[in-house]
Amino acid sequence: MDSAAALRSIDTDARSLLASAQTRWDRPIPHCPGWDAAELTRHTGHLFFWVTTIVTSGEAVRRRSLEAPPVDPGELPAWFTSQLDQVEHVLGDADPDAATWTFSALNDHRVGWWQRRLAAEMAVHRWDMQHGVEATDGAPRPEAIDGEVAAAGMGEFVEELLPVLLERCAPNGPTGTLHLHATDGPTEWWIDLDNRLARPEHTKADTAIRGTLSDLFLWLLNRTPPEKLDIFGAREVLDAWSQLRF
């Protein structure tokens, strides 16, 4: 996913998130326990602020050291939009290969890492917000995550985040080998859960899961139930997967 595509996705999903949030600020968000629409808006707006500060300075910044978001929901739309505009400006003007601090497990310390990370994060939280509207108002299902964003998010998850999550829940986490196969794109991943390895290839595994890029990505993040996917082979991994929380 190139920089332009990432920035377009960030903008589209962020503005959709805000539009859904404003329909009811105290709406609970099922996949963000303890948060309502206002708190999810504060979280994402503060993430924009954090990324802007990091990329501008190139240095690590403690998120808690930054000015807190507004408490009054009435102030959130203007504040959120301002933070979005700033992060888009900073990320749009920067060279994707420019050096900056990141928390990449693969030591990818480039601005482009943040462009991808923010696109994936915004897509998922936009989905979370729309799912909250669906859950309380019976609205249509959330829009699928863009395939290019989902593919980039899957790669980031299996290579950078999954090894950390498996370490946290060992020895009770999922085990064996897993093959993810997208039905709407060329993306495939073979994952050795015991040795915490992932390769983008078609290889036999204990469990194979097929689905759209959006559904596969959401399943990895415990948003989509396995019933929406085609499952082949051992199913034990499905029960253990719910322990993986990022």
Give tens-digit pLDDT for 130-146: 999 999 998 889 999 99
Residue recorded with tokens 């300075």: 57
Give tens-digit pLDDT for 192-207: 999 999 999 999 999 9
Confidence grade of residue 115 (pLDDT, cut at 50, 70, 90): very high
In order of start, what are the domains of the chain with their CATH numbers?
3-137 (1.20.120.450), 147-241 (3.30.1050.10)
Return the H-helix or E-strand segment holding 2: none
Give tens-digit pLDDT for 13-62: 999 999 999 999 999 999 999 999 999 999 999 999 999 999 999 999 99
Q: At what angle do helices 111-137 and 76-93 cross, to 10 degrees?
A: 150
Rg, Å, the chain Cα set: 18
**pTM confidence score:** 0.96
The whole-angstrom separation of Cα 130 and Cα 215 is 15
